[in-house]
Chain A
């Protein structure tokens, strides 16, 4: 499978402040790739560089096989981009907005447009400026999906949306997903967990992690070890154990390279015989909270 997005050592500096530090990223075609990370991690900057809204300080990026610095005009017929804080022509009604954009896209699908307007319950005769934040986001999304783009890029699409609207947006996206690659940035880890096939964790401009959601979920586990009486926690612990805490005879940690047999073998090697080893799956939110608190990259 080829990559819809590929970046190499992408760096962006704003007056000496590094927003991106050597970002190397691959988004496979057909994936729903979620780029997550704390505020100021560089997610929006990365997307703006990919969309040729900003120019990288160094490094290179390819989007749908095209150098990102060459993305313009007809290249956007294959890309649907929606951003949380995008400035829309507020003086236009929803109908006029969709009608205006229609002429730019040879592949614009009127039936799909109609279906999206219905699905998102968009009031065609209402001005964009008079719409709620969620409605505006849905209008922008409808306008970015109606021409069946190969790549859908969403910058914080769920920010400030109420749960109902969020579900509608996600539903709209999921319906389009089979025919497109989706690349989105978000804070909303709970929604990402149900939506994304791939996930990347960006922190301080660097990509700490980038992998399939399934493998990420499988390799992170919360482990609770009940020690025998008199056992203690030694100084040297395996590198994949994070946030190790102990109270009385119980030791808890997060294993970032969890495999049932290997983890149990490591536990025995560290603590000797133990009374019990309990393993709990982790949510995406817990995984990233752990990583954010630990502040270190995972292999």
Chain B
């Protein structure tokens, strides 16, 4: 059985990164933007674990880092959703284009 080369993992990760960035930039809804950002973070995790396996398998820091990223992403999503809900109660919208009180 042929082992999967590192470049395949990196390609998947780069594709996921691009999809996430596209989503975050093109979505108007704050929840949609948050989903795009989560995709980018998952791309990071694929990279970290793949690099750990192929480049530095003796040292577990790549794996540990991936777990830390998952934890922090959860904390970030919790805070972000709380802010979105607080704003939705006040303004009845989660569409970022409607948030135009603060501008030049």
Tell whether A and B belong to one assembly: no
